[in-house]
Amino acid sequence: MIRVAVTGAAGRMGKTNIEAIQATEGVTLGAAIVEPTSSLIGADAGEVAGVGKLGVKIVGALDQVMDDFDVLIDFTAPQATLANLAQCAVKGKAMVIGTTGLSEAERNELKSFGEVMPLVFASNMSVGVNLCFKLLSEAAKALGDDYDVEIIEAHHHHKVDSPSGTALSMGEVVADALGRDLRQCAVYGREGQVGARSKDEIGFVTIRAGDVVGDHTVLFATEGERVEITHKASSRMTFAKGAVRAAGWLAGKKNGLYDMQDVLSLRD
């Protein structure tokens, strides 16, 4: 039985991850962690997640439960994720990380932990989005530089980072396939007299509204036709199932930085 801990246990994804762990054979909830100021410390993690009593009391610090899990699933915030990585690295624990909104420096720091621990890091844990990454690479290679590329994403009004991690990953996949550097060619939103579109830019459009779980469209457009590749998530359970699958896959793996392409055997 693989013992899984969940940080951000009272958050939208934290609660859904606990629900997914509860519904999956071969894994069990070992610990649930919230912020030290949370009023939920001491509550039963299953009751907070809405799946009934699990006998796991929520704690306010990861270091209180380091002996109670094998893999930590972390969907929190960049600085919290990096602090959790540092603690798990010292204790030889594996981590599955879904947090988005990391700066380039934070991403580099995160990646360096792959040298000392097994780590799955992915901006989107769903099977559908990870399949889309492959389709996007194929599409970009086939369509080439004659097609303008725009990435449109929509999320719920609570989301704090923009563009979404998934939109940025899609941009990276397309840029790689076209031999471009996303850092040079990305254009984030347009306003005013910005001039005509340059041929090589990859544009990002962000929508924040209501309870949208997560929609992503990559548009390839040229004179006379458009190709659109769209993914729409209608439940956070699609991300949580992926995260729990990654935790099971990661247990016992050697140190390294993996992503969902590895977990789902989608890598070429």
Ligand X SMILES: O=C(O)C1=N[C@H](C(=O)O)C[C@H](O)C1
Ligand Y SMILES: NC(=O)C1=CN([C@@H]2O[C@H](COP(=O)(O)OP(=O)(O)OC[C@H]3O[C@@H](n4cnc5c(N)ncnc54)[C@H](OP(=O)(O)O)[C@@H]3O)[C@@H](O)[C@H]2O)C=CC1
Which residues have a Cβ under 8 Å from the Cβ of 110 and sit 6 or more positions away? 81, 82, 85, 97, 102, 119, 121
Instruction: Select the residue whose beta carbon is closest to ligand Y and give its number.
Output: 11
Helix segments in 199-264, DSSP class H? 237-250, 260-263
Q: Which element (helix H / strand E) includes 30?
A: strand 27-33
Each residue 199-228 as x (binds ligand X by CB under 6 A) or -, in order, gives ---------------x--------------
Nearest approach in angstroms of CB 254 to ligand Y is 23
Residues 36-75 that bind ligand X (CB under 6 A): none
Each residue 151-190 as x (binds ligand X by CB under 6 A) or -, in order, gives ----x---x----xxx------------------------
Binding site for ligand Y (CB under 6 A): 8, 10-14, 34-35, 38, 75-77, 79-80, 98-101, 122-125, 161, 165, 239
What are the angstrom distances between the C-alpha of 234 and each of 48, 104, 126, 198, 202? Answer: 22, 29, 11, 34, 26
CB 44 within 8 A of CB 57: yes
Distance, CA of 256 to CA of 127 (rounded, Å) = 21
Residues 104-123 that bind ligand X (CB under 6 A): 123
Annotated binding residue at 242? no
Nearest approach in angstroms of CB 99 to ligand Y is 4
Which of 93, 155, 216, 241 is labelled catalytic? 155
Q: If you count DSSP H runs as helices and E runs as strands, how many of each does the chain have, helices first?
A: 9, 12
Nearest approach in angstroms of CB 28 to ligand X is 26
Annotated binding residue at 100? yes
* 3-class DSSP string for 120-176: EECCCCCHHHHHHHHHHHHHHHHHHHHCEEEEEEEECCCCCCCCCHHHHHHHHHHHH
159 is catalytic: yes
List residues near ligand X by CB under 6 A: 100, 123-124, 155, 159, 164-166, 214
Q: Report the binding-site residues for (S)-2,3,4,5-tetrahydrodipicolinate.
A: 156, 165-166
User: Which residues have a catalytic role annotated?
Assistant: 155, 159
